[in-house]
Structure 1
Amino acid sequence: MEKEGAVASLGQSSLLLPAWIKAALQANDRLKLYLSVLQSAAQRAVNPAATSVDWTREITHMGLRDATWLKDVATTAYLQDQTLIVPQLTLWLDALSADLSIMARPLCDIPEHKDPALATRRDLWLQKLEELNDEEGLSPQALSDLTHGNRKGSDSFHLLVMDLHKQLNAMAVTVATEDVNGAHVWQIEDDDRTLIRAFMRGIARTAALKFNHPGLDTAATRNGKRLLIQNDIGTNDAHVLVIEVEKRTVHLTYSDLHVARFDFFRQMLEGIGFEWTVFDPRTTDGLNQGKPYQVGSALCKAADDEALQEVLEAVASRIVFVIDWNRARKRLQSFVRKPVAIAVLRFAADQNLGHMAWLLAGGEQLIHEAMQAVDGEAFRIGDRLDQVLGEAATQSFLQDLLRIASTKLREQQPVALIADEARLLLARVLQRRTFEYDLLAEHAAFCHGLAFALSEALEFASTSADTVQRAKNWERKADHLLMEARRRAERQPRWLPMVQLLDEMDDIADALEEATFIHSMMLAQPMAGLPVPVNAVLCELADTTLAAIQDQIKAIEIARHMSEQTDPADSEDFLQALWRILRAERICDDLLRNARVLIVQTLNASPMTFSLATELAATIEKATDSLLTAGYALRKLVLNKSGMSA
């Protein structure tokens, strides 16, 4: 089914008449060709020695280049006991049925224009064509019924086609269209032109972003009190937008076979002020190959006439961004997750850049070639871009690339220039790559959460089961970050220093989670908690550890951007943070000794509490030992990155 079928399924047949008449006249030409080829085939079957007519030019002119079976009809049909045996007869009969249906639609399927006599003849011939599918060939009577033009005899397929053609020509005169800023309009009122022009201004504002892709054809007419506007968007038959304007209210109906694209368009229009009602997926015979498609309606009420024009212009300006949207999304998903790919497309729409330029410039191949060209060590076969750069950096790169492609193609710059720009852009992203530090920062954040929770638990002498479970979950998530780094290091050796650093940092998380668990045991029955002096020194131990982790987070963020050109002040801040971690470790050594003294003094009569308190103090102090080791590893990493010896 063509695009008009979707409009019909949305209940706006008034918009269909001009398009249906045009399609019907084209179907008339094809039907006459089919009948001419059949008659030629029959003549050649009677006289095989006769020269065959070459129908190639006519078939090509009708846009039937792929209908190789039609050429075969003319050259390979033969007689067998007076029956014309036609190879691919089923395809030929199906073509007759399909085009007869298209040709008869304006005269048989729109209630206000229906001709009952023609509709009856059409239905009869559709039935006869279906019955002929069961035959091995065409009998002399069947051949005559299809092709004769004698009105004194019985009805024929050829006569029906001629009668339909005559009525279509008469109808076409009554539905003459005019052009309003590129929109095909008919039977409108004078005031409608202002609204149509507003809509077409929106189309014109962004139409260049589709480049040579088909779509955005607009038709408009009036149906009673409502102005109807239809835009065909692209080439898919289920992808249709119909707009109704009555007074200052805009009501639109939108259908799309892709749910994700439907949601994308819905969200764009919500930004304009539309309120949506989304229906259950719909299935229509002959539409979208019988598969379900999404349909929704939206409503927007304008405050005045000027606002109404602005709404129509805004809606029209967004349509181009859903043309070939799904293809762009799938291509982008070669490099990022689906939500990120959609976010990139949303950015391109919000910035009036579009995605077609990127597709025309090579799409994913543009990026693959850039990945191969810029750094042989950075990318290995099978690597996804966001796995190397990180999700945020990859999203930013893709957005910049879509901006470059859109700008350069609109300036009519060569695609080769865009390819060079892609390589340079990716090279710059790699130079400031900080994805490895994202993992470090995330791991340090988990450690900070563990240390903060432990400090609070000691301060308030309470640890709930939820606190213990949360600490366990954070420690596992920190473990997963280490495993992720190890997985990357297997493919990319440059990750090995990061793995070593994360390995040390993971010991911090392990120690803090273990300390939280031990503390919870000391508050459970039959334990009675910690003596005040012991709890006080353990609080100080935990607080010092927490402060050291905060310095580690600061050092990681500074290290993320350090290079040979780093500001000396940043270098100083980095080194000071590391020295504070060193001092914290030494302070914690002393605090551990103080804790042991107090534990001996106050808990010598309670072996179980004595043992757990000693283990708790040692476990917290172990975290600062690992912090110091991790600090040295970070220092070495940064100095090597800056071109200095560690």
Structure 2
Amino acid sequence: MKTQVLDTLGEDGLALPAQIEAGLAANDRLKYYFSLLQVARSHADHPDRPSSSLKRERLAAGIHENGLDELVAAARQDGASYRFAGCSHLMSAIMDDARIMAAPADAEKKERLALLLKAIPHAADDKVLGSDIDTITRADDDHGDSLHRLVMDLHKVLNALQVGLAEEKIGGAAAYHLGEGDKDLVRAFMEGVNRTAPLKFDHPGLGTTATRSGTRLIIQNDIGTTDAHVIVVHVEANKVSLTYSDVHLQRLQYFQGLLEPFAVVWSNPNSNQVPTLAGGQPFFLSTATFDVKDNKDLLAYLDHLGSRLVFLIDWNHARKQLRGFLVKEDRSRLLRWAADADVGHRGFLQMGGARLIWSAVETAAVSAVRLGDRLCDVLGTESAYAFVQFVFTTASEGLRARQSDSLIRDRVRAELLNLLHTAGTRLLGTAADHAGYVFEIATAIRDQLVDPRGDTAELKDLTKRARHWEHEADLLVAGVAEAIRRRPELEPVLRLIQAADDATDSLEEATFLLSLLDDHGDRKGLEALQPMATVLVESAQEWVKALNHARHVRRHGLRDDADDFLVAIDRLVALEHDADTAERDVTVAILKTTKDFRSLHVLSKIWHGLGDASDSLKRASLILRDHVVGDVLAA
């Protein structure tokens, strides 16, 4: 391939490999120079903010002029201009490197360069206008041509020429002019790239070239299709360095996280002195350095680095597609999980991204999700997160297994239906937790009546514990109320837990009243209350059972689950009748035995409270029965 290309170029083309090598090195330097101009200008505008010297970036670009590290700190505004020490030299270096990059390019690009170089100020007085900096460094297409725009186009030309000159393919990488031992390093990098490359599916990208320039092995990967999104890796002696730039700080931070398994040292891009593109768009630049322990360490790092690049493709697109389902922190957490689990996000996007989930919502949860709702508000934060994890995994694995799109969509819909049912089950679980507090207070009252304590401190402790249980029960009711706000079809669960909470309130009040009695003087009255309290404890037990059985009832489910639930409800209704009988017996007994009006009043309020609690549990059980029979079994 190399020989054929050189033959067609003629005598002048013999210098092409050297021109490409020099052009790629010039590209690294120009990236640094552009960033240096932008950071220096930003520092001059905001001298009170921290600034970066970009020393790491300079060294990574192979520039050994230490004086450039002082340029940012010394930058000052001078009217409409900016004064940079050494600005004239910097402009000359930019023009020289631009010419080096354009050497192997076609006539059209060389003409573009000539026109753009005419607009670059020579800055003989070390001053440059802000508009000139924009003309040089902007990378968008909205304000006409720019040197930065041309440099990105020239970079693509150099990459294409380099691929054409490749002497061999190593794991898919186009390689030429490699030195001794370089093939093993390129192969390690490509093993990582190829291991995860299928996760990009039909998206272009991950083209890799490798060559040696002096003492450096240079590995370059184009990642995706964005002109500015290219990563260049330099391997030299016992050090690996890469320079990475991005318009998205979050993606840069995400990429940094992907390399955490290795002791990579990054320069800090997250300051107020970040470069900006035209229009104020931030442009973040950072350099990563890894000091190698031995050859095994080097190979492992290159493999890992190569394997992570696919997860940068369309990352910001995926993050935006998740806005309707997860909170901001969970969107970033999910994308990091997808990379760490080698699931990726491209399968999700390949299947339509947000549309994949919304189509499932439209068919499975129309009544549960209203306009403007996020899925995490409907399902709960962790359930929504788990569901989107399932969607990512199902899309990625399904596509790789060549499953049909309809099968993948059906699995997503089925999982959502299951989660929506699970949401109702989870709320019934909360109601069961609430029922536990009803049982605790009822049991404490019964035990106090069966074995009265004369110790005032113990009675106060009982009152305190009952107040705590009642407070915790109220929190559970509030949680269900908030969940039901997003799931109106589950409103019966709120009504039944509110009814049961009336029992909690009545029982907590009864414990307070017990602390007012003199157990010696009111012994007969307290004994009269024992049967009623015992029935109430049994009712609370059956209420807990009924809720736990209800959680397992399904349409077309096991008959025994539904039968156990209905038996518990029937038992609750029967116990309420027993409570009515016990309440009448209490009335007779207390009126016969209690002579003191004060004690009669307090005992009367206690037995009415116990009766109200029993009625509340019966009311709650009937609401639960109607919900299970009418909404769950008949769904």
- What TM-score results when the alignment is normalised by the length of structure 2? 0.61
Change (3 A) 1:297 1:567: same
Question: When the two structures are aligned, how many residues end up with a matched partner?
Answer: 510
**Of residues 432, 441, 446 in structure 1, which corresponds to 2:429?**
441
* RMSD (CA atoms): 5.4
Going from structure 1 to structure 2, the CA distance change for 1:400 and 1:644 (only over 3 Å counts) comes to closer
Q: Which moved more, 1:122-131 or 1:432-441?
A: 122-131
**Relative to 1, partners in 2 of residues 1:280 and 1:317: Cα closer, same or farther, differing over 3 Å?**
closer
Structure 1 residue 578 corresponds to structure 2 residue 572: no
| CA gap 1:474/1:15 in 2 versus in 1, 3 angstroms | same
Judged with a 3 Å threshold, the aligned counterparts in structure 2 of structure 1 residues 201 and 466 are, in CA distance, closer, same or farther, namely farther
Q: Distance in 2 between matches of 1:194 and 1:265?
A: 25
Matched, 1:516 2:514: no
Partner of 1:481: 480
* Alignment CA distance shift 1:487-1:216 (3 Å): closer
- Partners of 1:183 and 1:418 in 2: how far apart? 32
Equivalence map 1:11-30=2 (5 Å): 11-13=56-58, 16=61, 25=103
* Identical aligned residues as a percent: 26
Partner of 2:306, secondary structure, is helix
SS of 2:551's equivalent in the other structure is: helix
1:5 counterpart = 2:4: no
Query: Where does structure 1 lack aligned partners over 5 or more consecutive residues?
Result: 39-94, 101-120, 134-160, 490-494
Contact 1:10 1:253 survives alignment (8 Å): no
Give the Cα separation in 1 of the matches to 2:594 and 2:243.
77
Distance 1:241 1:606, change over 3 A: farther
Question: Counterpart of 1:640 in 2: which secondary structure?
Answer: helix
AA aligned opposite 1:5? K
Counterpart for residue 468 of structure 1 = 467
Mapped pair 1:548 → 2:542:
yes
Change (3 A) 1:189 1:449: farther
Which runs of structure 2 are paired with 1:614-625 in the superposition (5 Å)? 614-625=604-615
Contact kept? 2:60, 2:241, Cα under 8 Å = no
1:402 is matched with which residue? 392
Contact 2:232–2:243 (8 Å) recurs in 1:
yes
Task: Look up the equivalent residue of 1:348 and give its one-letter code.
Answer: A
Higher mean C-alpha deviation, range 255-264 or range 328-337: 255-264
Deviation at 1:506, TM superposition (A): 0.7
Q: Aligned match of 1:317 in 287, 301, 307?
A: 307
Partner of 1:366: 356
Once residues 377 and 568 of structure 2 are traced to their aligned partners in structure 1, the CA distance between those partners, rounded to angstroms, is 30
* Displacement after TM superposition at 1:448 (Å): 2.4
Cα deviation 1:508-535 (Å, max 9, x = unaligned):
1233145335535765xx8778978849
Tell me the amino acid that sits aligned with residue 568 of structure 1. Answer: R
Report the Cα distance in structure 1 between the residues aligned to 2:291 and 2:590, rounded to whole angstroms: 73
Deviation at 1:554, TM superposition (A): 1.1
Change (3 A) 1:611 1:377: same
Distance across 2 between alignment mates of 1:27 and 1:443: 73
Counterparts of 1:241 and 1:519, CA distance in 2: 73
Any idea what the Cα deviations from partners look like across 1:300-358, whole Å, max 9, x if unmatched?
987x7546534442343233223322321221221333455445435533442321232
1:206-233 per-position Cα deviation (integer Å, ceiling 9, x unaligned): 1222245465466778999997867665
The Cα shift of 1:475 comes to 0.9
Q: Alpha carbons of 1:16 and 1:26: their partners in 2 closer, same or farther (altered >3 Å)?
A: farther
8 A Cα contact 1:541 1:621, kept in partner = no
Deviations 1:211-267 (A, max 9, x none): 4546546677899999786766554859968687875x9888877665655665555
1:526-565 matched pairs, under 5 angstroms: 534=526, 537=530, 540=534, 543-559=537-553, 562-564=554-556
- Where 2:565 maps in the other structure, the secondary structure is helix
Contact 2:369 2:487 in 1 (8 A): no
Q: What SS does structure 2 have at the residue aligned with 1:636?
A: helix
Question: Does structure 2 retain, via aligned residues, the 8 Å contact 1:15–1:219?
Answer: no
Aligned partner letter, 1:622? D
Change (3 A) 1:221 1:603: farther
Aligned to 1:75: none
CA distance in structure 2 between the aligned counterparts of 1:132 and 1:343, rounded to whole angstroms: 41
Give distance in 1, aligned partners of 2:605 and 2:245. Answer: 66
Counterpart in 1 of 2:417? Answer: 430
Equivalent positions of 1:138-217 (< 5 A) are 180-182=170-172, 190-213=180-203, 216=206
When structure 1 is superposed on structure 2, of 477-486 and 121-130 the one drifting more is: 121-130
Offset at 1:478?
0.7
Secondary structure of 1:558's counterpart equals coil
CA contact (8 A) 2:208 2:220 kept: yes
Query: What's the secondary structure of 1:11's corresponding residue?
Result: helix
**Matched residues in 2 for 1:410 and 1:340: separation?**
26
Q: Check 1:419–1:545 CA distance in 2 against 1; reply closer, same or farther (3 A cut).
A: same
2:111 corresponds, among 29, 33, 42, to 33
Deviations 1:111-144 (A, max 9, x none): xxxxxxxxxx9555997998999xxxxxxxxxxx
Which structure 2 segments of 5+ residues have no match? 1-26, 36-53, 64-96, 134-149, 449-457
1:49-82 deviations in whole A, cap 9, x for unaligned? xxxxxxxxxxxxxxxxxxxxxxxxxxxxxxxxxx
**Alpha-carbon spacing, 1:429–1:96, altered in 2? closer, same or farther (3 Å):** same
Contact 1:328 1:359 in 2 (8 A): yes
| Cα distance in 2 between the residues matched to 1:527 and 1:257 | 74
